[in-house]
Amino acid sequence: MLNLSLKQKLILLFSLPVFIFSLFLFIYVPAKRESSLIQSIEEKAQVIGKMTAFSIRPALFFDDITTVEEIFQNAGQNKDVLYLVIKKK
């Protein structure tokens, strides 16, 4: 090792693990948080879609356009909903 004093060696000894741990947190935590947020948004979209489909099914069966519009308006009140699409199977 270099000609370092005992104080400098101790500083290096304790600061290196702290630096490595900080680097790990700086890289890992944001990536994990991002994937978790994306997953929760996907789950929320699926729930909203299923709820809307469940609510709209009887109105479509009976050709009740007024109820369909009300259901779309209710689903559109959620700030995360940009658009809804109905697909007939």
pLDDT values of the chain reduced to their tens digit, one per residue, 89 residues: 578 888 988 998 999 999 999 999 999 999 899 999 999 999 998 998 898 889 999 998 898 989 989 998 988 898 888 888 877 76
Amino acid 19: pLDDT: 94
In a domain, 71, yes or no: yes
In a domain, 13, yes or no: yes
In a domain, 66, yes or no: yes
In a domain, 72, yes or no: yes
Residue with tokens 């702290």: 18
In a domain, 54, yes or no: yes
Are residues 74 and 62 in contact, defined by beta-carbon separation less than 8 angstroms? no
**Count of the separate structural domains present in the chain:** 1
Amino acid 25: pLDDT: 92
pTM for the whole structure: 0.63
Q: Which domain holds residue 54?
A: 7-76
In a domain, 12, yes or no: yes
Are residues 59 and 71 in contact, defined by beta-carbon separation less than 8 angstroms? yes
CA torsion sign for 43, 48, 49, 50 is positive
In a domain, 18, yes or no: yes
In a domain, 87, yes or no: no
Amino acid 39: pLDDT: 95
